[in-house]
Chains A and B, each alone.
Chain A
Amino acid sequence: MTNEKPNVQTREGQEQMKALGIKPLPDPDATTQPYWDAAMNEELKIQFCSACNQYQHPPMPTCERCEASKIEWRSISGKGIIYSFIIDRRLMTTGFDEPYVVAQINPIEAEHDDVRITTNIKGCELTDVYMDMPVEVFFEEVNGVKLPQFKPAPDAIIKSQQ
Protein backbone atom coordinates (compact mmCIF):
# COMPACT_ATOMS: atom_id res chain seq x y z
CA MET A 1 0.00 0.00 0.00
CA THR A 2 1.53 3.29 -0.99
CA ASN A 3 0.52 6.78 -0.04
CA GLU A 4 1.85 8.28 -3.18
CA LYS A 5 -0.31 11.04 -4.50
CA PRO A 6 -0.41 11.79 -8.21
CA ASN A 7 2.22 14.37 -9.15
CA VAL A 8 0.30 17.19 -10.82
CA GLN A 9 3.55 18.52 -12.31
CA THR A 10 3.79 15.59 -14.71
CA ARG A 11 1.63 14.37 -17.55
CA GLU A 12 1.56 10.90 -15.91
CA GLY A 13 0.26 12.42 -12.69
CA GLN A 14 -2.42 14.26 -14.60
CA GLU A 15 -3.48 11.02 -16.31
CA GLN A 16 -3.59 9.29 -12.89
CA MET A 17 -5.83 12.03 -11.50
CA LYS A 18 -8.06 11.73 -14.52
CA ALA A 19 -8.31 7.94 -14.04
CA LEU A 20 -9.32 8.56 -10.41
CA GLY A 21 -12.01 11.00 -11.56
CA ILE A 22 -10.34 13.94 -9.80
CA LYS A 23 -11.28 17.23 -11.42
CA PRO A 24 -10.09 20.68 -10.41
CA LEU A 25 -12.71 22.36 -8.25
CA PRO A 26 -12.78 25.56 -6.21
CA ASP A 27 -11.50 25.60 -2.65
CA PRO A 28 -13.55 28.54 -1.32
CA ASP A 29 -12.32 30.90 1.40
CA ALA A 30 -14.18 33.53 3.41
CA THR A 31 -13.98 36.03 0.55
CA THR A 32 -15.06 33.70 -2.24
CA GLN A 33 -17.61 31.52 -0.42
CA PRO A 34 -20.66 33.69 -1.35
CA TYR A 35 -19.90 33.24 -5.05
CA TRP A 36 -19.87 29.45 -4.81
CA ASP A 37 -22.84 29.34 -2.40
CA ALA A 38 -24.88 31.31 -4.93
CA ALA A 39 -23.80 28.91 -7.68
CA MET A 40 -25.06 25.97 -5.60
CA ASN A 41 -28.46 27.73 -5.74
CA GLU A 42 -28.03 28.27 -9.47
CA GLU A 43 -27.54 31.99 -9.08
CA LEU A 44 -24.72 34.15 -10.38
CA LYS A 45 -23.65 36.77 -7.85
CA ILE A 46 -20.64 39.07 -8.06
CA GLN A 47 -19.28 41.80 -5.82
CA PHE A 48 -20.48 45.39 -6.13
CA CYS A 49 -18.91 48.45 -4.48
CA SER A 50 -21.59 50.99 -3.67
CA ALA A 51 -18.94 53.63 -2.90
CA CYS A 52 -17.62 53.72 -6.46
CA ASN A 53 -20.67 52.17 -8.08
CA GLN A 54 -18.84 49.37 -9.86
CA TYR A 55 -18.73 45.60 -10.00
CA GLN A 56 -15.56 43.61 -9.42
CA HIS A 57 -14.58 40.00 -10.02
CA PRO A 58 -12.81 37.83 -8.87
CA PRO A 59 -13.95 38.72 -5.35
CA MET A 60 -11.62 40.52 -2.96
CA PRO A 61 -11.91 41.50 0.71
CA THR A 62 -12.18 45.20 -0.22
CA CYS A 63 -12.91 47.27 -3.30
CA GLU A 64 -9.88 47.18 -5.54
CA ARG A 65 -10.40 50.74 -6.70
CA CYS A 66 -11.40 52.72 -3.62
CA GLU A 67 -10.34 50.24 -0.89
CA ALA A 68 -13.82 50.55 0.62
CA SER A 69 -14.65 47.55 2.72
CA LYS A 70 -18.38 48.04 2.22
CA ILE A 71 -18.79 45.66 -0.62
CA GLU A 72 -21.99 43.79 -1.36
CA TRP A 73 -22.96 40.74 -3.40
CA ARG A 74 -25.43 41.36 -6.23
CA SER A 75 -27.29 38.87 -8.37
CA ILE A 76 -26.69 39.38 -12.06
CA SER A 77 -28.68 38.05 -15.00
CA GLY A 78 -26.02 35.66 -16.28
CA LYS A 79 -26.15 37.26 -19.71
CA GLY A 80 -22.98 38.57 -21.26
CA ILE A 81 -20.70 38.62 -24.25
CA ILE A 82 -17.43 36.85 -24.97
CA TYR A 83 -14.55 39.22 -24.23
CA SER A 84 -11.97 36.75 -25.53
CA PHE A 85 -11.38 33.01 -25.84
CA ILE A 86 -8.77 30.36 -26.59
CA ILE A 87 -9.10 26.87 -27.97
CA ASP A 88 -6.74 24.52 -26.16
CA ARG A 89 -5.40 21.91 -28.51
CA ARG A 90 -3.04 20.22 -26.05
CA LEU A 91 -3.74 18.93 -22.58
CA MET A 92 -3.29 21.92 -20.33
CA THR A 93 -5.00 21.22 -17.06
CA THR A 94 -5.85 17.90 -15.51
CA GLY A 95 -9.47 16.86 -15.79
CA PHE A 96 -9.91 18.25 -19.30
CA ASP A 97 -10.06 16.56 -22.66
CA GLU A 98 -8.51 18.61 -25.42
CA PRO A 99 -9.58 20.41 -27.45
CA TYR A 100 -11.62 22.70 -25.21
CA VAL A 101 -12.57 26.37 -25.11
CA VAL A 102 -11.71 28.75 -22.28
CA ALA A 103 -13.44 32.11 -22.53
CA GLN A 104 -13.75 35.29 -20.52
CA ILE A 105 -17.20 36.82 -20.26
CA ASN A 106 -18.18 40.44 -19.75
CA PRO A 107 -21.53 40.31 -17.91
CA ILE A 108 -23.99 42.83 -19.40
CA GLU A 109 -24.41 44.53 -16.01
CA ALA A 110 -20.66 45.11 -15.71
CA GLU A 111 -19.75 45.85 -19.30
CA HIS A 112 -17.59 48.84 -18.42
CA ASP A 113 -16.23 47.60 -15.12
CA ASP A 114 -13.41 45.41 -16.39
CA VAL A 115 -15.16 42.30 -15.06
CA ARG A 116 -14.25 39.07 -16.79
CA ILE A 117 -15.69 35.73 -15.69
CA THR A 118 -13.66 32.73 -16.80
CA THR A 119 -15.71 29.87 -18.22
CA ASN A 120 -15.89 27.16 -20.84
CA ILE A 121 -18.33 27.54 -23.71
CA LYS A 122 -20.64 24.57 -24.01
CA GLY A 123 -23.67 23.75 -26.13
CA CYS A 124 -22.05 24.47 -29.49
CA GLU A 125 -19.10 23.33 -31.60
CA LEU A 126 -15.66 24.77 -30.78
CA THR A 127 -15.60 26.47 -34.15
CA ASP A 128 -18.94 28.18 -33.45
CA VAL A 129 -17.42 30.36 -30.74
CA TYR A 130 -16.72 33.94 -31.81
CA MET A 131 -15.69 37.24 -30.29
CA ASP A 132 -18.56 39.28 -28.75
CA MET A 133 -20.83 36.21 -28.99
CA PRO A 134 -23.87 36.65 -26.72
CA VAL A 135 -23.87 33.95 -24.05
CA GLU A 136 -25.83 33.02 -20.95
CA VAL A 137 -25.02 31.18 -17.75
CA PHE A 138 -26.04 27.66 -16.78
CA PHE A 139 -24.86 25.51 -13.90
CA GLU A 140 -22.92 22.30 -14.32
CA GLU A 141 -22.56 19.79 -11.51
CA VAL A 142 -19.03 18.40 -11.17
CA ASN A 143 -18.36 15.95 -8.33
CA GLY A 144 -21.05 17.56 -6.18
CA VAL A 145 -20.09 21.19 -6.90
CA LYS A 146 -22.06 23.47 -9.19
CA LEU A 147 -19.88 25.50 -11.56
CA PRO A 148 -21.27 28.47 -13.46
CA GLN A 149 -20.76 27.74 -17.16
CA PHE A 150 -21.81 29.64 -20.28
CA LYS A 151 -23.55 28.62 -23.50
CA PRO A 152 -24.68 30.55 -26.58
CA ALA A 153 -27.64 32.87 -25.91
CA PRO A 154 -30.74 32.51 -28.13
CA ASP A 155 -29.59 35.43 -30.29
CA ALA A 156 -26.11 33.98 -30.91
CA ILE A 157 -25.31 33.02 -34.48
CA ILE A 158 -24.43 29.32 -34.59
CA LYS A 159 -22.63 28.58 -37.84
CA SER A 160 -22.75 24.81 -37.54
CA GLN A 161 -26.55 24.87 -37.23
CA GLN A 162 -27.19 27.01 -40.30
Chain B
Amino acid sequence: MKTDHMKVAIVGCGYTKATRKLEKPETEIAIEACLMAAQDAGMDPSEIDGINVQVHHYPPPETQTIAQGIGITNLRWNQDGGLGILPAGVAAQAIDAGECNSVLVVKIMNTIAPISTPQIDPSTGRVGDWQQFEVPYGLGFSMQRVGLMARKYMHRYNIKQEQLAWIPIVQREHALMNPWAVMDSPMTLDDYMNSRIISDPVRLFDCDMPVNGAFAFLMTREDRAKELNHKPVYLKSWAGSEVTKRDQLNAEYLEGPTPLALEIYKDAQLGPKDMDLWYMYDGFSYFVPMWMENLGLIPRGEAGNYVEGGDNIRAGGEHPINTHGGQLSEGRLHGHGHVLEAVQQLRGNAGIRQANTANTAIISSVFPWTGAAGILSVE
Protein backbone atom coordinates (compact mmCIF):
# COMPACT_ATOMS: atom_id res chain seq x y z
CA MET B 1 0.00 0.00 0.00
CA LYS B 2 1.02 3.63 -0.41
CA THR B 3 -0.46 7.07 0.06
CA ASP B 4 -2.14 8.41 -3.07
CA HIS B 5 -2.59 12.14 -2.52
CA MET B 6 0.50 13.25 -0.66
CA LYS B 7 3.64 12.01 0.99
CA VAL B 8 3.42 11.33 4.71
CA ALA B 9 6.49 11.62 6.94
CA ILE B 10 7.67 10.60 10.37
CA VAL B 11 8.84 13.84 11.94
CA GLY B 12 9.42 13.20 15.64
CA CYS B 13 10.63 10.45 17.97
CA GLY B 14 10.06 10.00 21.69
CA TYR B 15 11.27 7.34 24.12
CA THR B 16 11.04 6.76 27.80
CA LYS B 17 13.79 4.71 29.37
CA ALA B 18 13.30 1.00 28.73
CA THR B 19 13.42 -0.77 32.06
CA ARG B 20 13.13 -4.35 33.24
CA LYS B 21 10.36 -3.30 35.66
CA LEU B 22 7.59 -0.78 35.07
CA GLU B 23 8.73 2.26 37.06
CA LYS B 24 5.85 4.69 36.47
CA PRO B 25 2.15 4.37 35.62
CA GLU B 26 1.70 3.44 31.97
CA THR B 27 -0.50 6.44 31.15
CA GLU B 28 2.23 8.72 32.46
CA ILE B 29 5.00 7.15 30.38
CA ALA B 30 2.81 7.16 27.26
CA ILE B 31 2.24 10.89 27.66
CA GLU B 32 5.93 11.44 28.32
CA ALA B 33 6.99 9.62 25.12
CA CYS B 34 4.35 11.44 23.03
CA LEU B 35 5.35 14.87 24.33
CA MET B 36 8.96 14.05 23.60
CA ALA B 37 8.05 13.11 20.01
CA ALA B 38 6.13 16.37 19.54
CA GLN B 39 8.96 18.40 21.01
CA ASP B 40 11.52 16.56 18.86
CA ALA B 41 9.51 17.52 15.77
CA GLY B 42 8.88 21.06 16.98
CA MET B 43 5.11 20.72 16.80
CA ASP B 44 2.76 22.09 19.43
CA PRO B 45 0.69 19.19 20.89
CA SER B 46 -2.52 21.15 20.29
CA GLU B 47 -1.92 20.77 16.55
CA ILE B 48 -1.98 16.95 16.79
CA ASP B 49 -5.37 15.50 15.82
CA GLY B 50 -4.83 11.76 15.63
CA ILE B 51 -3.55 8.98 17.86
CA ASN B 52 -2.83 5.27 17.68
CA VAL B 53 -2.13 3.51 20.97
CA GLN B 54 -0.71 -0.01 20.95
CA VAL B 55 -1.07 -2.10 24.07
CA HIS B 56 -0.64 -5.85 24.33
CA HIS B 57 -1.55 -6.41 27.92
CA TYR B 58 -4.77 -6.27 29.90
CA PRO B 59 -6.43 -4.06 31.01
CA PRO B 60 -5.31 -1.35 28.58
CA PRO B 61 -5.13 2.32 29.60
CA GLU B 62 -7.73 4.81 28.30
CA THR B 63 -6.69 6.41 25.04
CA GLN B 64 -8.74 9.52 25.91
CA THR B 65 -6.75 10.00 29.11
CA ILE B 66 -3.50 9.79 27.19
CA ALA B 67 -4.76 12.20 24.49
CA GLN B 68 -5.85 14.73 27.12
CA GLY B 69 -2.55 14.38 28.98
CA ILE B 70 -0.66 15.20 25.79
CA GLY B 71 -2.80 18.30 25.27
CA ILE B 72 -4.72 17.09 22.22
CA THR B 73 -7.85 19.24 22.09
CA ASN B 74 -9.27 18.22 18.74
CA LEU B 75 -8.96 14.46 18.34
CA ARG B 76 -10.27 13.64 14.86
CA TRP B 77 -8.79 10.18 14.36
CA ASN B 78 -8.19 7.36 16.80
CA GLN B 79 -7.48 3.80 15.85
CA ASP B 80 -5.73 1.67 18.44
CA GLY B 81 -3.73 -1.49 17.87
CA GLY B 82 -1.20 -2.94 15.45
CA LEU B 83 2.49 -3.67 15.73
CA GLY B 84 5.59 -2.05 14.28
CA ILE B 85 5.42 -0.62 10.77
CA LEU B 86 1.78 -1.54 10.11
CA PRO B 87 0.18 1.15 12.35
CA ALA B 88 2.44 3.72 10.63
CA GLY B 89 0.76 2.67 7.41
CA VAL B 90 -2.71 2.88 8.90
CA ALA B 91 -1.95 6.38 10.22
CA ALA B 92 -0.49 7.46 6.86
CA GLN B 93 -3.65 6.31 5.13
CA ALA B 94 -5.81 8.38 7.51
CA ILE B 95 -3.66 11.46 6.87
CA ASP B 96 -3.72 10.82 3.11
CA ALA B 97 -7.51 10.56 3.21
CA GLY B 98 -7.79 13.89 5.04
CA GLU B 99 -9.22 12.35 8.19
CA CYS B 100 -6.53 14.09 10.23
CA ASN B 101 -3.23 15.91 9.74
CA SER B 102 -0.83 14.75 12.43
CA VAL B 103 -0.86 11.42 14.25
CA LEU B 104 1.02 10.17 17.29
CA VAL B 105 1.74 6.44 17.15
CA VAL B 106 2.64 5.15 20.60
CA LYS B 107 3.55 1.72 21.90
CA ILE B 108 3.26 0.95 25.61
CA MET B 109 5.12 -2.09 26.87
CA ASN B 110 4.08 -3.50 30.22
CA THR B 111 5.52 -6.89 31.06
CA ILE B 112 3.37 -7.24 34.18
CA ALA B 113 0.75 -9.12 32.18
CA PRO B 114 1.38 -12.86 31.90
CA ILE B 115 2.71 -14.20 28.66
CA SER B 116 0.13 -15.92 26.55
CA THR B 117 -0.25 -19.54 27.55
CA PRO B 118 -2.28 -22.33 25.98
CA GLN B 119 -6.00 -22.24 26.75
CA ILE B 120 -6.16 -25.40 28.87
CA ASP B 121 -9.24 -25.98 31.01
CA PRO B 122 -7.67 -26.21 34.48
CA SER B 123 -10.17 -28.81 35.78
CA THR B 124 -10.21 -31.20 32.85
CA GLY B 125 -7.09 -30.39 30.84
CA ARG B 126 -9.22 -30.09 27.71
CA VAL B 127 -8.00 -27.83 24.87
CA GLY B 128 -10.12 -26.70 21.92
CA ASP B 129 -9.66 -24.94 18.57
CA TRP B 130 -6.52 -25.64 16.55
CA GLN B 131 -4.61 -25.92 19.84
CA GLN B 132 -6.20 -29.38 20.35
CA PHE B 133 -3.75 -30.75 17.77
CA GLU B 134 -0.71 -29.24 19.47
CA VAL B 135 -1.05 -28.75 23.24
CA PRO B 136 -1.72 -32.47 24.00
CA TYR B 137 1.79 -33.00 22.59
CA GLY B 138 3.34 -30.22 24.65
CA LEU B 139 3.43 -27.59 21.87
CA GLY B 140 1.92 -24.36 23.13
CA PHE B 141 4.30 -21.42 22.77
CA SER B 142 5.69 -19.21 20.01
CA MET B 143 9.23 -20.12 20.97
CA GLN B 144 8.54 -23.77 20.20
CA ARG B 145 6.97 -22.98 16.82
CA VAL B 146 9.98 -20.82 16.02
CA GLY B 147 12.23 -23.74 16.97
CA LEU B 148 10.41 -26.00 14.49
CA MET B 149 10.73 -23.41 11.71
CA ALA B 150 14.35 -22.65 12.61
CA ARG B 151 15.49 -26.27 12.50
CA LYS B 152 13.72 -26.79 9.18
CA TYR B 153 15.27 -23.65 7.75
CA MET B 154 18.82 -24.55 8.84
CA HIS B 155 18.42 -28.15 7.66
CA ARG B 156 17.05 -27.15 4.26
CA TYR B 157 19.96 -24.84 3.47
CA ASN B 158 22.69 -26.46 5.56
CA ILE B 159 23.06 -23.36 7.74
CA LYS B 160 24.84 -23.68 11.08
CA GLN B 161 24.01 -22.06 14.42
CA GLU B 162 27.63 -20.82 14.51
CA GLN B 163 26.82 -18.73 11.42
CA LEU B 164 23.49 -17.29 12.53
CA ALA B 165 25.03 -16.57 15.97
CA TRP B 166 26.54 -13.47 14.38
CA ILE B 167 23.13 -11.83 14.30
CA PRO B 168 22.75 -11.64 18.11
CA ILE B 169 26.49 -10.94 18.47
CA VAL B 170 26.48 -7.98 16.05
CA GLN B 171 23.23 -6.64 17.44
CA ARG B 172 24.83 -6.65 20.89
CA GLU B 173 27.73 -4.62 19.47
CA HIS B 174 25.18 -2.13 18.19
CA ALA B 175 23.36 -2.04 21.52
CA LEU B 176 26.58 -1.05 23.26
CA MET B 177 26.45 2.16 21.16
CA ASN B 178 22.81 2.81 22.00
CA PRO B 179 22.04 4.63 25.26
CA TRP B 180 18.46 3.26 25.27
CA ALA B 181 19.50 -0.39 25.08
CA VAL B 182 19.00 -2.52 28.20
CA MET B 183 21.84 -4.94 27.41
CA ASP B 184 25.21 -3.42 28.19
CA SER B 185 27.87 -6.13 28.10
CA PRO B 186 29.50 -7.65 24.98
CA MET B 187 28.62 -11.11 23.63
CA THR B 188 31.16 -13.45 22.07
CA LEU B 189 30.58 -16.48 19.84
CA ASP B 190 31.44 -18.68 22.84
CA ASP B 191 28.94 -16.79 25.02
CA TYR B 192 26.26 -17.47 22.43
CA MET B 193 27.14 -21.12 21.86
CA ASN B 194 27.24 -21.72 25.62
CA SER B 195 23.94 -19.99 26.33
CA ARG B 196 21.19 -22.14 27.74
CA ILE B 197 19.15 -24.23 25.31
CA ILE B 198 15.45 -23.77 25.99
CA SER B 199 13.63 -25.38 23.10
CA ASP B 200 16.43 -26.91 21.03
CA PRO B 201 17.54 -25.32 18.69
CA VAL B 202 16.34 -22.09 20.39
CA ARG B 203 18.71 -20.73 23.02
CA LEU B 204 18.21 -18.04 25.63
CA PHE B 205 20.26 -15.59 23.53
CA ASP B 206 17.92 -16.15 20.57
CA CYS B 207 15.05 -14.62 22.55
CA ASP B 208 14.26 -10.93 22.82
CA MET B 209 14.50 -9.07 26.10
CA PRO B 210 11.22 -8.07 27.76
CA VAL B 211 11.22 -4.40 28.82
CA ASN B 212 8.79 -1.77 30.02
CA GLY B 213 8.39 1.71 28.64
CA ALA B 214 6.63 3.85 26.04
CA PHE B 215 7.85 4.63 22.55
CA ALA B 216 6.25 7.14 20.18
CA PHE B 217 6.63 8.69 16.77
CA LEU B 218 4.78 11.56 15.15
CA MET B 219 3.57 11.51 11.54
CA THR B 220 2.32 14.37 9.41
CA ARG B 221 1.71 15.53 5.82
CA GLU B 222 4.64 16.47 3.59
CA ASP B 223 3.92 20.21 3.47
CA ARG B 224 3.90 20.48 7.26
CA ALA B 225 6.84 18.07 7.68
CA LYS B 226 9.09 20.41 5.71
CA GLU B 227 8.53 23.23 8.20
CA LEU B 228 9.57 21.19 11.24
CA ASN B 229 12.88 20.52 13.05
CA HIS B 230 14.24 17.53 11.12
CA LYS B 231 14.66 16.18 7.63
CA PRO B 232 11.34 14.38 6.96
CA VAL B 233 11.49 10.60 6.69
CA TYR B 234 8.77 9.43 4.30
CA LEU B 235 6.81 6.21 4.51
CA LYS B 236 7.00 5.07 0.89
CA SER B 237 5.02 1.83 1.15
CA TRP B 238 3.86 -0.86 3.53
CA ALA B 239 1.95 -4.14 3.50
CA GLY B 240 0.73 -6.86 5.79
CA SER B 241 0.78 -10.58 4.97
CA GLU B 242 -2.24 -12.38 3.68
CA VAL B 243 -3.00 -14.49 6.73
CA THR B 244 -4.60 -17.84 5.99
CA LYS B 245 -7.09 -19.55 8.23
CA ARG B 246 -4.34 -21.51 9.91
CA ASP B 247 -1.71 -18.85 10.24
CA GLN B 248 0.62 -20.91 12.38
CA LEU B 249 1.09 -23.25 9.45
CA ASN B 250 1.30 -20.82 6.56
CA ALA B 251 2.91 -22.34 3.52
CA GLU B 252 6.57 -21.53 3.18
CA TYR B 253 7.95 -19.61 0.25
CA LEU B 254 11.04 -21.29 -1.07
CA GLU B 255 11.85 -19.12 -4.06
CA GLY B 256 12.47 -15.41 -4.27
CA PRO B 257 10.70 -12.62 -2.39
CA THR B 258 7.23 -13.15 -0.93
CA PRO B 259 4.13 -11.42 -2.38
CA LEU B 260 4.31 -8.95 0.51
CA ALA B 261 7.86 -7.98 -0.48
CA LEU B 262 6.95 -7.59 -4.14
CA GLU B 263 4.06 -5.33 -3.16
CA ILE B 264 6.12 -2.93 -1.06
CA TYR B 265 8.87 -2.65 -3.68
CA LYS B 266 6.35 -2.00 -6.45
CA ASP B 267 4.51 0.65 -4.45
CA ALA B 268 7.75 2.38 -3.44
CA GLN B 269 9.15 2.07 -6.98
CA LEU B 270 12.32 0.76 -5.40
CA GLY B 271 13.96 -2.67 -5.30
CA PRO B 272 15.75 -4.75 -2.69
CA LYS B 273 19.13 -3.44 -3.91
CA ASP B 274 18.04 0.11 -3.07
CA MET B 275 17.61 -0.69 0.63
CA ASP B 276 20.53 0.78 2.60
CA LEU B 277 19.57 -0.27 6.12
CA TRP B 278 17.77 -3.44 7.11
CA TYR B 279 15.55 -3.43 10.19
CA MET B 280 14.50 -7.02 10.58
CA TYR B 281 12.05 -7.96 13.32
CA ASP B 282 13.82 -10.05 15.92
CA GLY B 283 11.40 -11.32 18.52
CA PHE B 284 13.58 -14.39 18.03
CA SER B 285 16.97 -14.19 16.29
CA TYR B 286 15.87 -16.70 13.64
CA PHE B 287 13.33 -14.22 12.29
CA VAL B 288 16.17 -12.06 10.96
CA PRO B 289 17.56 -14.43 8.29
CA MET B 290 14.03 -15.56 7.38
CA TRP B 291 12.91 -11.96 6.88
CA MET B 292 16.07 -11.10 4.89
CA GLU B 293 15.25 -13.90 2.48
CA ASN B 294 11.49 -13.27 2.40
CA LEU B 295 12.17 -9.65 1.47
CA GLY B 296 14.59 -10.67 -1.29
CA LEU B 297 17.47 -8.78 0.34
CA ILE B 298 19.62 -11.89 -0.17
CA PRO B 299 18.92 -15.09 -2.13
CA ARG B 300 17.17 -18.02 -0.44
CA GLY B 301 19.51 -19.98 1.80
CA GLU B 302 22.28 -17.36 1.73
CA ALA B 303 21.70 -15.74 5.12
CA GLY B 304 24.14 -18.01 6.95
CA ASN B 305 27.02 -17.09 4.67
CA TYR B 306 25.99 -13.44 4.58
CA VAL B 307 25.95 -12.85 8.33
CA GLU B 308 28.89 -15.11 9.30
CA GLY B 309 31.69 -13.09 10.89
CA GLY B 310 29.41 -10.05 11.10
CA ASP B 311 31.27 -7.79 8.65
CA ASN B 312 28.39 -7.40 6.18
CA ILE B 313 25.80 -6.54 8.81
CA ARG B 314 27.54 -4.42 11.40
CA ALA B 315 27.43 -0.61 11.45
CA GLY B 316 29.89 0.41 8.75
CA GLY B 317 29.28 -2.81 6.79
CA GLU B 318 27.47 -3.32 3.49
CA HIS B 319 23.97 -3.43 5.00
CA PRO B 320 23.88 -2.79 8.73
CA ILE B 321 21.15 -4.79 10.48
CA ASN B 322 19.26 -3.50 13.50
CA THR B 323 21.74 -0.73 14.28
CA HIS B 324 20.02 -0.09 17.62
CA GLY B 325 20.56 -3.63 18.90
CA GLY B 326 17.09 -4.86 18.01
CA GLN B 327 14.76 -6.54 20.43
CA LEU B 328 17.45 -9.04 21.35
CA SER B 329 19.61 -6.32 22.92
CA GLU B 330 17.80 -2.97 22.96
CA GLY B 331 14.63 -4.57 24.26
CA ARG B 332 11.27 -5.90 23.13
CA LEU B 333 9.50 -2.83 21.78
CA HIS B 334 7.28 -4.86 19.43
CA GLY B 335 8.82 -3.35 16.33
CA HIS B 336 8.71 0.26 17.51
CA GLY B 337 12.45 0.29 18.22
CA HIS B 338 13.15 -0.63 14.59
CA VAL B 339 11.04 2.27 13.28
CA LEU B 340 12.48 4.84 15.70
CA GLU B 341 16.06 3.85 14.92
CA ALA B 342 15.48 3.85 11.14
CA VAL B 343 14.09 7.40 11.37
CA GLN B 344 17.09 8.64 13.33
CA GLN B 345 19.52 7.01 10.89
CA LEU B 346 17.74 8.42 7.85
CA ARG B 347 17.70 11.94 9.18
CA GLY B 348 21.37 11.57 10.16
CA ASN B 349 21.25 11.96 13.90
CA ALA B 350 22.05 8.45 15.12
CA GLY B 351 25.27 9.68 16.78
CA ILE B 352 28.05 7.10 17.01
CA ARG B 353 25.72 4.52 15.43
CA GLN B 354 25.28 6.60 12.28
CA ALA B 355 25.64 4.46 9.14
CA ASN B 356 27.68 5.75 6.19
CA THR B 357 24.85 5.53 3.66
CA ALA B 358 21.37 6.01 5.07
CA ASN B 359 18.82 7.15 2.50
CA THR B 360 16.45 4.21 2.61
CA ALA B 361 15.47 1.62 5.19
CA ILE B 362 13.34 -1.50 5.00
CA ILE B 363 11.51 -2.50 8.15
CA SER B 364 9.79 -5.77 8.97
CA SER B 365 7.46 -6.43 11.87
CA VAL B 366 6.45 -9.62 13.65
CA PHE B 367 6.63 -13.22 12.32
CA PRO B 368 8.22 -13.70 8.88
CA TRP B 369 5.26 -15.84 7.80
CA THR B 370 2.43 -13.57 8.99
CA GLY B 371 3.99 -10.14 9.59
CA ALA B 372 4.23 -6.77 7.84
CA ALA B 373 6.95 -4.74 6.15
CA GLY B 374 7.48 -1.21 4.91
CA ILE B 375 9.98 1.15 3.31
CA LEU B 376 11.21 4.51 4.64
CA SER B 377 13.09 7.04 2.52
CA VAL B 378 14.42 10.59 2.77
CA GLU B 379 12.88 11.32 -0.65
| A74-93 vs B, Cβ < 8 Å mask (1 yes, 0 no) | 00000000011111111011
Residues of B within 8 A of A64 (CB): 244-246
Complex contact B121–A27 (CB within 8 A): yes
Nearest CB in chain B to that of A119: its residue: B137
Residues of A within 8 A of B202 (CB): 86
Task: Identify the stretch in B128-136, B291-299, B301-309 within 8 Å (CB) of chain A at 4 or more residues.
Answer: B128-136
Complex contact B144–A26 (CB within 8 A): no
- From 121 to 162 in chain B, residues with beta carbon under 8 angstroms from any chain A beta carbon are 121-128, 130, 132-141, 144, 147-149, 151-152, 155
Given A28-B132, A94-B120; A114-B249 close (CB under 8 Å): yes
Complex contact A85–B151 (CB within 8 A): yes
| A50 part of interface (Cβ distance < 8 Å) | no
Complex contact B148–A85 (CB within 8 A): yes
In the bound complex, how far is the Cα of B249 from the Cα of A117, in angstroms? 11
Nearest CB in chain B to that of A97: its residue: B138
Residues of A within 8 A of B122 (CB): 5-8, 13, 17, 22
| B117 part of interface (Cβ distance < 8 Å) | yes
Chain B nearest CB from A76 CB (Å) reads 15
- From 95 to 111 in chain A, residues with beta carbon under 8 angstroms from any chain B beta carbon are 95-96, 100, 102, 104
- The contact of B138 among A13, A29, A84, A100, by CB within 8 Å, is A100
Given A84-B148, A84-B149, A93-B135; A25-B126 close (CB under 8 Å): yes
Residues of B within 8 A of A119 (CB): 137
| A53 part of interface (Cβ distance < 8 Å) | no
- The contact of B136 among A6, A23, A117, by CB within 8 Å, is A23
In the bound complex, how far is the Cα of B127 from the Cα of A94, in angstroms? 12
Nearest CB in chain A to that of B134: its residue: A118
For the residues of A in contact with B, the DSSP-based class is: loop
| B352 part of interface (Cβ distance < 8 Å) | no
In the bound complex, how far is the Cα of B147 from the Cα of A131, in angstroms? 13
| B198 part of interface (Cβ distance < 8 Å) | yes
- The contact of A90 among B123, B134, B199, B244, by CB within 8 Å, is B199
Chain A nearest CB from B100 CB (Å) reads 38
In the bound complex, how far is the Cα of B145 from the Cα of A102, in angstroms? 10
Residues of B within 8 A of A86 (CB): 144, 147-148, 151, 199-202
- The contact of A118 among B123, B139, B155, B251, by CB within 8 Å, is B139
| A147 part of interface (Cβ distance < 8 Å) | yes
Complex contact A131–B120 (CB within 8 A): no
In the bound complex, how far is the Cα of B155 from the Cα of A6, in angstroms? 40
Complex contact A93–B155 (CB within 8 A): no
| B71 part of interface (Cβ distance < 8 Å) | no
In the bound complex, how far is the Cα of B132 from the Cα of A57, in angstroms? 12
- The contact of A23 among B114, B125, B133, B141, by CB within 8 Å, is B125
Complex contact A5–B123 (CB within 8 A): yes
Residues of A within 8 A of B114 (CB): 9-10
Complex contact A118–B128 (CB within 8 A): no
Chain B nearest CB from A33 CB (Å) reads 11
Nearest CB in chain A to that of B145: its residue: A86
Nearest CB in chain B to that of A116: its residue: B249
- Give B residues with C-beta under 8 Å from A: 114, 117-118, 120-128, 130, 132-141, 144, 147-149, 151-152, 155, 196-202, 244-246, 249, 251
- Give A residues with C-beta under 8 Å from B: 5-10, 13, 17, 22-29, 32, 57-58, 60, 64, 83-90, 92-96, 100, 102, 104, 114, 116-120, 131, 142-143, 147
27 contacts between A and B (CB under 8 A): A6-B122, A8-B118, A8-B120, A9-B117, A10-B114, A17-B125, A24-B125, A25-B125, A25-B127, A32-B133, A57-B133, A60-B245, A64-B244, A84-B151, A88-B144, A89-B198, A89-B199, A89-B200, A93-B118, A93-B120, A93-B138, A93-B139, A102-B148, A118-B133, A118-B137, A131-B151, A131-B152
The 6 lowest CB-CB distance pairs between A and B, nearest first, are A27-B126, A26-B132, A86-B147, A87-B200, A84-B152, A5-B122
